[in-house]
Structure 1
Amino acid sequence: MLNSEQAEPLYIQLKKAVQSAIANGTFNPGDKIPTEIELSANYNVSRITVRKAIEELVSEGYLTKRQGKGTFVNAHKIGRKIEHIISFTAACRANGLSSHSAITERKKIKADQETAERLQIQQGEPVLYIQRKRYAGERPLMLENNYYPFERFSFLMEESLEGSVYELLRDRYQIDPNQPGETVLQITLADEQQAKLLEIPIGQPLFYMNTIIYDQHSQPVHVGKQYIIGDRYQFTL
């Protein structure tokens, strides 16, 4: 129960109580939380206090208000710093979530001019294209499209790639993808194929991240073109 004698304002205490209920699974992603009237009665506080707590939780991304339907718990967002090299697996782990991957495409293709220039190879040379659907918990979160110089990374044709490729490269092949090159982050809308693979509606906002990653010797590892569900991921600078 909230304590009016504490120095901490009641709306902050209520806010923390709702955050705790989300963290411990009392309220799960997608759940509708009690109404203002119900929360006011449950915690013995005014509706003004409830409204202020809920407004802050909405602004911080914990909750979403839906007109005429109520207030709902948002899916947990995965956070990472855009300027740091951290694998998807490590980002999920840091945010308390399990992760796994499913390969949707893996094939040798010819490098177009842009990819060839970024990988420091000749146009038309073979590259290894790997598309994976990345899961955070049990839900797909990212559609990963990576392009590797085939001559150097052909061994990835035989790997399962269910977990972190970066960890695999470091642990088994002594290749450390630790240097980001130019990275462009944009907002796009899911097309039909992306929506089907990510199990979302067509037109849902996605982060599109286009990047190049280098190893410890400043050699290109891969060009990455990633599509990430926007309302479940956040970048910080």
Structure 2
Amino acid sequence: MLFNADRRIALDRASPVPLYYQIYRIISDYMKEPGAVGRKLPTEEAMMKVFDVSRATVRRALQALESSGQISRSRGRGTIITNNASQEQLTTIRSFTEQMRLENHVPITKVVEVKKVKAGSEMARILQVSEDEELLQVTRLRGNESYFPLALFISFLTSRSNLTGEENFEGSLYELMRNRGTAVVEGDAIIEGRLAEGRIAKLLKIEEGAPILYYERVGCTAIGEYVEFVQCWYEATHYKFRIHLTTKI
């Protein structure tokens, strides 16, 4: 069992943070303990007593944990811890902000740099623009209320994004673009394992040579215009990607 079902854990009932979310965060913290994966959570009845809340509150916390991929629930087996890392569904175009909210996290962003750069030969090839085109380069550190920084994002945006560089980049780039009439609806991505080096390691506050997940994506609009190239470096022990596979019969 992940924690003693006979103990009592006090929630802050004067806090504006919902009780279910407080339970979600407490359980998530327990999941960070070594060997947590594969262990069971107490029953709903036991957790009602542990946290002194209703069944509805417990179930909402469990639903949040399940939707973020941290637990698996099944009749007969109970509630099993599956992992303790944020995870992203690879088959869906979704911003980091949207992904964190989906997992019931509070997205946190630190804007490192916003500047304009010439596309050059490589970016011109990727984004199908001229080498002299001016791109908007946005460098940001991303994370959530439990771990920051979790990832480093460097986005290169064409003029088709309709962004000027004067916007507030602490939220979702995709939301900003949608509000300007440009929606990223599809794209191609690659993911690979790398080792943290130089500026990447320094910004992520990890040791050089530490494992990281590198992810890059080209995003385009519904009419096939390339609008974004983004490079992402994720702190490997706190993030994972998930993909749903099927077979044709």
Fold shared per TM-score above 0.5:
yes
Aligned to 2:100: 92
> What RMSD over aligned residues (CA atoms) do the two structures have, in Å?
3.2
Aligned to 2:151: 142
1:16 Cα shift?
Answer: 8.6
Return the letter of the residue paired with 1:229: E
Mapped to 2, the partners of 1:111 and 1:143 lie a distance apart of 21
1:124 Cα shift?
Answer: 3.0
- Count of residues in Structure 1 that have an aligned counterpart in Structure 2: 188
Task: Give the direction of change, closer, same or farther, for the CA distance of 1:196–1:31 in structure 2 (3 Å limit).
Answer: same
Aligned to 2:180: 173
Mapped to 1, the partners of 2:94 and 2:177 lie a distance apart of 13
1:232 Cα shift?
Answer: 1.0
Task: Give the direction of change, closer, same or farther, for the CA distance of 1:230–1:26 in structure 2 (3 Å limit).
Answer: closer
Determine if contact 1:99/1:136 at 8 Å carries over to the other structure. Answer: yes
1:154 Cα shift?
Answer: 6.0
Aligned to 2:160: 152
1:192 Cα shift?
Answer: 2.7
Q: Deviations over 1:196-229 (max 9, x none)?
A: 2112222221111121001122211211111111
What are the equivalent positions in structure 2 for 1:20-169 lying under 5 Å apart?
23=24, 25=26, 28=29, 56-57=38-39, 76-137=84-145, 139-149=148-158, 151-153=159-161, 155-169=163-177
Mapped to 1, the partners of 2:88 and 2:204 lie a distance apart of 20
Mapped to 2, the partners of 1:194 and 1:126 lie a distance apart of 24
More helix by share: 1
Mapped to 2, the partners of 1:122 and 1:174 lie a distance apart of 23
Q: Deviations over 1:51-89 (max 9, x none)?
A: xx86734xxx98xxxxxxxxxx9x942211112101101
Task: Give the direction of change, closer, same or farther, for the CA distance of 1:220–1:24 in structure 2 (3 Å limit).
Answer: closer
Aligned partner of residue 25 in structure 1, secondary structure: helix
**Which one has a bigger Cα radius of gyration?**
1
Mapped to 2, the partners of 1:128 and 1:27 lie a distance apart of 37
Amino-acid identity (%): 25
